[in-house]
Structures are given as structure tokens and as C-alpha cells.
Structure 1
């Protein structure tokens, strides 16, 4: 499939359950366990547990209906608001949030969070803690000046953005613009924790192929500087799996602090 025919996640939508099953499941043959599950959770746990990122209000702007990367955040942030692009993803998240029949089973990730925190016997507490921390799930639109319009959110102490900017941006200018809109929701002195795919051009959900803006580590670092984010920390994990479902070379975790 030619890159010009790749679907755009935020325009065409995707099957949110298939996305979870392909990239985040507990299946024995799930090839993305190291990159999609373990690396983001370890990095975010390190950031919060060491006191490098603090506050009470966290905004998460991530791809699909993932929540596994938020288990550590729920220990430190009393209020979490999730921003998503698709109604289907919001429905999926609400099904899990309210523990309804058919909700996606994240127990393999709550157990991983418990291991990171050294509290293996408190799995149910991890689920309850995250559910109680999530106060709102809102639809966002990066075509709007205020991406949560008509809702006006208070500025966040921390924003986590996982796998979104490269999926909704078609070129460098759009990436910078979308990064600027993201940090408009961040208070001065607050931090953006970004998880990004390096050198990716496509990814699949089922038989549907989606666009990804190809960006490397240097581009992302430079983009942070252009929008006024001082880099506090970054780490790169080279791809650990063999699969043609997505063509990324590495996963980047980068933390930027917004200027006062």
C-alpha cells in the first residue's frame, strides 16, 4: 500500500479492541511486550517514583484506549483526565473504568505495576486506585485552538502523550503545531512525558494500514526546543521484536519541562 493511501488515525478511526489485542495483550505470542508494554511502564514508574515529576493533576493524550502506562501515575496524581480522538476509544475506556461486562482485561499490566512498586499482593488495589484517579474522559480535536473545546481544563502539572503526535501529524510543521497545542494544557514548570516511535512510517490494526510521520530522536529533541521545552531526561529502546505489523526502529521516552 502506498504511503499516500495510509489511513489517518484521527480522521478515519480504527477498531480499538483489535488495536489492544495486537499490541497490548497478554497472549504468549504478543511480540510487542517489551516495546509497547514494559518499556513505557518502567520509564514512567522511574520518573514518578524518583520524584522527578510531581503534582496533583495529570492529563493523558494517548493512542487508542490504552491505560497501562497510568498505573504508576495514579499513585502520585489525585486527578487524571484522559483525552482521546475517537468515540469508540472513549466507550472502550468507560467500559473498563466502570468495570462493565466485556471490559478489556488489563490485569497483566496491574500485576506488572505491582511488581514495579514491590506490592505484588495488591493487584485489586492497583485497579481501584487507577479507576478512582480518572475523573474525566474527554474527546479532543487538534483542529481546534482549544483541543478540548467546549471544555476548558485547568493547566496540568504533567502531560503524558503516548504514540499520538507522529500518528496525527503529516509533516514537520504539523508535528510542531500539534506539540504546541499539547503543551498549551501544561502549566509553566510542568512536564511533558512523551512516548514516541522512532523512524516509523506505518502501523497496522487488523488489515488496515495507518500513517505514521517518520521522525528520529534529533527531530523530536529539536521540536522540544522550538516550543520551549527544556529536556530533563530521555531514553531510547531499540526495537526488540520482529514483525511487519509496524516498521518503527526504536521507542523514545523523553521528558520536557515547560518554561516558567
Structure 2
């Protein structure tokens, strides 16, 4: 596929609601549940509860408007600052955070998280906890050295990034450059947790195909080490679903910390 014909997430934007319907909903035809819902929930739960990762400020730099990746984090951090590159993603997320009519329904993911944690009867409390822990959803410019210019963010104890690097990086140098940006807003000793799709070239939203940065586990590990991160845990899950909406081969979760 000609990469020049593909759109790019932070340049062209997309319908965030349709993206959620395609890859995160509870519709019968949504085949990505094991990868997009269960895989993040299991690994974030493990790292926060067993890895003892906690602190004051967590910065979330992820694509679209999903919230389930914050279900565990909200129990271990005082404040979660969410940065988004696209206005439509911000609008969709704020609709859920403000519990507005027509917001995307996350009950299926919340229930799954409860089952993983062993607290399936407290899913409404979990959604309320996330809403109370996210004080700010901010527009960011991913191309600026200070992505939130003119605002300077407080140094983060932890950064979560789900599928963002896959969607915005053109090549390996780009991937390293963004890791460097992440490092600059992370405290020494702070944690970085990434979720990505391995060997992906595209994903689809409505009728449009979007660029996917193609990389493997070995590159991701070497890139993190090269930018001063120590990997604490990693997990790769091979893709089992069948769909022509996207062509990734596996999911990867990496938890690392910034060397002091």
C-alpha cells in the first residue's frame, strides 16, 4: 500500500466516535475485544497493583477518546492530565467525562475490568473515580518541543501512551524523537507505559485509511534503551481476530522507567 495515500492521525484527524465503534465497542461485529479491551486492562492492572506504580501526576498521551486504560491508574494517582491532538477526540472524551446524553458507553469495558480485579459489582464507582481524577483534557501540538506551549506541565510521575506512536511516527527516527519528548516531561525514575500494534501499516476509520508506523518488539526495546529507559516488563500478544480494518500482527505492552 502506498503510504503517501494514507491519512495521518494528528494531521488529518478522524471521527473519534466511529473509531471507538470500530475497535472498542460491545457490538457483535467488533472483533478486537481481546486486543483493544482485555489486553490493556490486564496489563495496566498488573503493573499498577503489582508493580507499585503511583504518584501525584500521570499524563496520558493516547489516540482517540477511550478511557478504559485509566481504570487502574485512577486508583494510584491524584491527578490524570489527558493530552489530545484532535478537537473531535477532545469533544468525544469530554462528553463522557461530563456524563452527557449520547456519550459512548463503556459499561462493557468497566465490567471486564471489574472481573479482572475481582470487583465486578463496583463498576459504576470505577467510572466515577476516573471522572473525578481527570481535572484537565488539553489540546496539544505534537510537533512543538513543548507540546502544551505556552503552558508548562508539571513533571509527571508516569506517562501512559496507547497507540499514539503507532499513529504519528513516520519512521524510526520519529519514534525515538517522541520518546525523547516523553522523557523531558517525566521525572527521573518516573514510569512510561506503552501499548502498540506491531507490524501495522494501516488502520481504517469510516472510508479512510490511516498510516501506521511499522516496527517490531526488538526495535521498540532498543529505542527505549537508547533514550535512557530501563524496561521493567513487556508482553506481546499475537493477533487472533480477522478483519480488514487494520493489518497489525500483534499487540505489545511495555512498562519502563526513566533512569535517574
How far 1:52 sits from its partner (Å)? 3.7
1:153-164 alignment runs, 5 A limit: 153-164=153-164
1:1-260 alignment runs, 5 A limit: 2-260=2-260
How far 1:226 sits from its partner (Å)? 1.1
Q: Which runs of 5+ in 2 are unaligned?
A: none
How far 1:40 sits from its partner (Å)? 0.7
For this pair of structures, how many residues does the alignment match?
260
Partners of 2:4 and 2:47 in 1: how far apart? 38
For 2:55, what is the secondary structure of its paired residue? Answer: coil
How far 1:2 sits from its partner (Å)? 2.1
How far 1:132 sits from its partner (Å)? 0.3
How far 1:231 sits from its partner (Å)? 0.7
How far 1:29 sits from its partner (Å)? 2.1
TM-score norm. by structure 1 comes to 0.98
How far 1:194 sits from its partner (Å)? 0.3
Q: Is the 8 A contact 1:142 1:181 kept in 2?
A: no
Q: Is the 8 A contact 2:44 2:69 kept in 1?
A: yes
Q: Deviations over 1:65-115 (max 9, x none)?
A: 111111111111121011111011001111100101111111111111221
Partners of 1:56 and 1:117 in 2: how far apart? 22
Q: Which runs of 5+ in 1 are unaligned?
A: none
How far 1:54 sits from its partner (Å)? 2.1
Q: Is the 8 A contact 2:53 2:76 kept in 1?
A: no
Q: Is the 8 A contact 1:84 1:139 kept in 2?
A: yes
How far 1:204 sits from its partner (Å)? 0.3
Partners of 2:57 and 2:110 in 1: how far apart? 21
Q: Is the 8 A contact 1:80 1:133 kept in 2?
A: yes
| Aligned structure 1 segments of 4 or more residues deviating by more than 2 angstroms | none
TM-score norm. by structure 2 comes to 0.98
How far 1:256 sits from its partner (Å)? 1.3
Partners of 1:20 and 1:37 in 2: how far apart? 11
